[in-house]
Structure 1
């Protein structure tokens, strides 16, 4: 990976950009000997963004699958409850057998 400081970028921006495009390798921009930015080819940047989006979608899908599996597991552990509709109907109609 090639590195240039800010002064070199100012003086040779066109050459450095051309180098990034032709080599398809990122160029590190240094400020006070520390990396502060990268210059990369536009297509490489777009591919990285698309891969990041796909990874994020995949992660969300996996989380959703895990959540559904946990819900299914909890449902299996629950005891079946009787249907309360007949009891409610009887209470509403005033049937005194359940009082």
Structure 2
């Protein structure tokens, strides 16, 4: 941890320590953390993990949407020919199940 004044005076030392230890440095302003200084490869690794988590979330959302569609098809098929599908579609949009 270092405050803004220490960063101004010792920026090279702080960067060297972060690169050497691969541990982030916390920069404080008025005793509150405002910035983390991280080594470049650690930051890039973190970005890759975030992107992978985002892809996984999108896959799960797609699976859920496909399952909702399959459930809708089953409900519609079980009711036979339906004159008005608007209530069923409205319920699906609103997350209600029948």
TM class by smaller structure: 0.7 to 0.9
Report the RMSD for the aligned CA atoms in angstroms.
Answer: 0.9
| Structure 2 unmatched ranges of 5 or more | 82-98
Give matches, 1:1-99, under 5 Å. Answer: 3-79=1-77, 80-81=80-81
Q: What is the DSSP-based 3-state SS (H/G/I as helix, E as strand, rest coil) of the residue aligned with 2:28?
A: strand
Q: What is the DSSP-based 3-state SS (H/G/I as helix, E as strand, rest coil) of the residue aligned with 1:25?
A: coil
Deviation at 1:77, TM superposition (A): 1.3
| Structure 1 unmatched ranges of 5 or more | 82-99
Query: Which portions of structure 1, spanning 4 or more consecutive aligned residues, are displaced by more than 6 angstroms?
Result: none
Q: What is the DSSP-based 3-state SS (H/G/I as helix, E as strand, rest coil) of the residue aligned with 2:23?
A: coil
Deviations 1:27-67 (A, max 9, x none): 00001111000000000000111111111111011000000
For normalisation by structure 1, the TM-score amounts to 0.76
Deviations 1:46-98 (A, max 9, x none): 011111111111101100000001100110111354xxxxxxxxxxxxxxxxx
Deviation at 1:22, TM superposition (A): 0.7
Q: Using the alignment, how far apart are the partners of 1:76 and 1:31 within structure 2?
A: 59
Q: Using the alignment, how far apart are the partners of 2:68 and 2:24 within structure 1?
A: 43
